[in-house]
Amino acid sequence: MAYDDDNIFAKILRGEAPCIKVYEDDKTFSFMDVMPQADGHTLVIPKAPAENLFDLEPEHYAALAQVTQKIAAAVKQAIGSPGVMIAQLNGAEAGQTVFHFHNHIIPRWSGLEMKLHAREMADMEKLEEQAQKIRAAL
């Protein structure tokens, strides 16, 4: 499949779709997942147009890894979770639903089940409150 410039993340990067931004630099962009699997579920995407891991240039992957580590630490601190799961899916068969490369940062607690992926919209005010805490932890 060829990269689709009309995917929702491409639209977010162009400012054509709303998001709750957490962080941005010259190569990456981070925002709250609007269908979170846990409180504090945050996404990190490259600004480069890449559908999946195999399309992403190594320099962009390295930048994404560095920012993911930085954002994950802030999420963990801001949300107060003892653990953090980093997830990245490649292809529909792997569960990828938006075909722009992205890392999920999902806070984890022992004994607390995650919600199903991409099932339920979150309250935007609650997401903004979480984003403010994460931005403050950066």
Q: Which residues are catalytic?
A: 102
Amino acid at 37: Q
Instruction: Using CB atoms within 10 Å of the CB of residue 31, give its burial: 0 to 12 exposed, 13 to 18 middle, 19+ buried.
Output: buried
Q: How many CB atoms lie within 10 A of CB 138?
A: 14
User: How far apart, in whole angstroms, are the C-alpha atoms of residue 103 and residue 29?
Assistant: 11
Nearest Cα to Cα of residue 46 among 62, 25, 27: 27
Contact 43, 32 (CB under 8 A): yes
Asked if 44 and 27 count as a contact pair (C-beta separation under 8 A), the reply is: no
Pair 75, 33: CB distance under 8 Å = no
